[in-house]
């Protein structure tokens, strides 16, 4: 019998180096039964204005459409002839952005991957969620089969930031989804979703955070005496051959497999297919520069800074066996007013959507159904 996810409303302790305001209010329920709290106010909508304007999108029809990207356009068709999964290219600010989509009806969901991953990390979620939703999974710029512009081409201003990716997400909703959407996010994708919801709250109907990154290497979470050393080490990685050597040692099948086996509690889910889907985009030109740029990015927002600014409901799911983002620290996020529920995913690691889709998919479906019903009734 599969493990059941449980929710909690009693965070054990606050995150280090941050005294944030919070209160204990999360809904407590088992994974299969709901006892929801009072309805939240309906969010303002952009549906009519977004649908009144049609934006062009570029759909993959041949490999020549893809430029340097080496994936083949994919369309999976069911026995009734209905397209279930389409892989496409969207032109954003002159860059080619890969995304996958499925589903013809229901609320729109945008799935946002984590560091070093891509939209293929949602391959176990898209077909299930698309039965009753319009599902989009995007490759953030710099990752997957999206373009990877050299960060050095933007001068001193960092390019690969949560503000950049949030802007990408907002524009994707406006130009491709053409509707409000729920953001379903894993790891650093959670920061992207929160930042986008803060920057353009009218578009976001709700956020699901799966093991959001705590950003423990953020400069604010380091002791003052250690910060100069951190900056020096980052410069060493970014500006010398050491960084490229480090990346080359990581971008190998054995290394990727070992890293995944660290963050997946059920290591049987670390398959050859998964290793291939994570590794191959990382072998593209420019991937090393993006990798080094982000691991040296210790500024930007923290979850505890963004959550108080969110105006839509948030649900947090957390694999309790995550060795990178300990649940003991993550529980504190359940105290924020906008977080209606903190759900523990038992015996699951850092990537619940791939390791335990049987827990994550129903969690997403119930959250979206509740808040879609609230908006409709209002």
Q: What is the mean pLDDT of residues 13-29?
A: 33
Distance CA 369, CA 107 (A): 8
Residue with tokens 């800074």: 305
Percent of the chain with pLDDT over 70: 72
Average pLDDT value over all residues in the chain: 79
pLDDT for 377 equals 55
State the CB neighbour count (10 A cutoff) for residue 373.
11
The model's pLDDT over 262-315, given as tens digits with 9 standing for 90+, comes to 999 999 999 999 999 999 999 999 998 898 887 767 678 999 999 999 999 999
Q: Which has the higher per-residue pLDDT, 189 or 69?
A: 189
Q: Under a CB-based contact definition with an 8 Å cutoff, are residues 89 and 176 in contact?
A: no
The model's pLDDT over 126-160, given as tens digits with 9 standing for 90+, comes to 999 999 999 999 999 999 999 999 988 888 788 99
CA angle 50, 196, 346 (to 5 degrees): 115
> Would you place residue 14 in the very low, low, confident or very high pLDDT band (cuts 50, 70, 90)?
very low
> Mind giving me the DSSP string for 87-104?
EEEEEETTEEEEEEEE-S
CA angle 328, 162, 252 (to 5 degrees): 75
Dihedral sign, Cα of residue 112, residue 217, residue 264, residue 320: negative
> Would you place residue 233 in the very low, low, confident or very high pLDDT band (cuts 50, 70, 90)?
low
Q: What is the mean pLDDT of residues 71-93?
A: 66
Query: What are the angstrom distances between the C-alpha of 375 and each of 10, 172, 180, 200, 365?
Result: 29, 22, 11, 18, 15
pLDDT for 304 equals 92
The model's pLDDT over 304-360, given as tens digits with 9 standing for 90+, comes to 999 999 999 999 999 999 999 999 999 999 999 999 999 999 999 999 999 999 999
Strand 204-210 and strand 181-186: pairing?
parallel
Fold of 6-229+301-377: Rossmann fold (3.40.50)
pLDDT for 158 equals 85
What are the residue boundaries of the structural domains of the chain, listed by start? 6-229+301-377
> Would you place residue 362 in the very low, low, confident or very high pLDDT band (cuts 50, 70, 90)?
very high
Of 68-72, 234-238, 247-251, give the lowest mean pLDDT range: 68-72
Both tokens assigned to 1 = 């019998």
pLDDT for 225 equals 72
pLDDT for 364 equals 98
């Amino acid at each position: 019998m599969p493990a059941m996810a449980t929710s909690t409303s009693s965070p054990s302790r606050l995150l280090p180096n941050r005294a944030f305001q919070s209160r204990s209010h999360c809904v407590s329920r088992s994974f299969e039964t709901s006892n929801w709290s009072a309805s939240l106010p309906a969010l303002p909508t952009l549906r009519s204005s977004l649908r009144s304007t049609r934006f062009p999108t570029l759909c993959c029809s041949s490999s020549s459409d893809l430029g340097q990207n080496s994936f083949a356009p994919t369309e999976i068709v069911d026995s009734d002839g209905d397209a279930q999964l389409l892989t496409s290219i969207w032109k954003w600010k002159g860059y080619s952005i890969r995304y996958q989509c499925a589903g013809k009806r229901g609320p729109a969901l945008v799935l946002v991957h984590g560091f070093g991953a891509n939209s293929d990390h949602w391959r176990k979620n898209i077909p299930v969620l698309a039965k009753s939703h319009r599902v989009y999974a995007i490759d953030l710029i710099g990752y997957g089969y999206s373009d990877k512009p050299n960060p050095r081409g933007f001068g001193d201003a960092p390019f690969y930031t949560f503000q950049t990716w949030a802007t990408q997400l907002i524009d994707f909703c406006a130009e491709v989804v053409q509707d409000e959407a729920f953001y379903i996010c894993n790891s650093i994708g959670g920061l992207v979703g929160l930042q986008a919801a803060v920057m353009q709250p009218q578009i976001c109907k709700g956020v699901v955070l799966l093991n959001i990154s705590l950003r423990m290497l953020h400069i604010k979470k380091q002791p003052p005496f250690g910060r100069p050393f951190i900056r020096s080490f980052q410069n060493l990685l970014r500006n010398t051959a050491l960084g490229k050597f480090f990346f080359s040692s990581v971008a190998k099948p054995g290394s990727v497999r070992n890293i995944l086996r660290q963050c997946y509690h059920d290591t049987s889910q670390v398959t050859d297919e998964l290793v291939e889907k994570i590794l191959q985009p990382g072998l593209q030109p420019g991937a090393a520069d993006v990798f080094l740029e982000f691991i040296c990015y210790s500024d930007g927002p923290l979850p505890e800074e963004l959550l108080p600014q969110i105006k839509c409901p948030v649900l947090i799911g957390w694999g309790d066996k995550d060795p990178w983002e300990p649940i003991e620290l993550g529980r504190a996020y359940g105290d924020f007013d906008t977080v209606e529920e903190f759900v523990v995913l038992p015996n699951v690691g850092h990537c619940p959507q791939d390791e335990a889709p049987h827990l994550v998919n129903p969690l997403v479906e119930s959250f979206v159904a509740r808040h879609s019903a609230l908006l409709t009734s209002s």
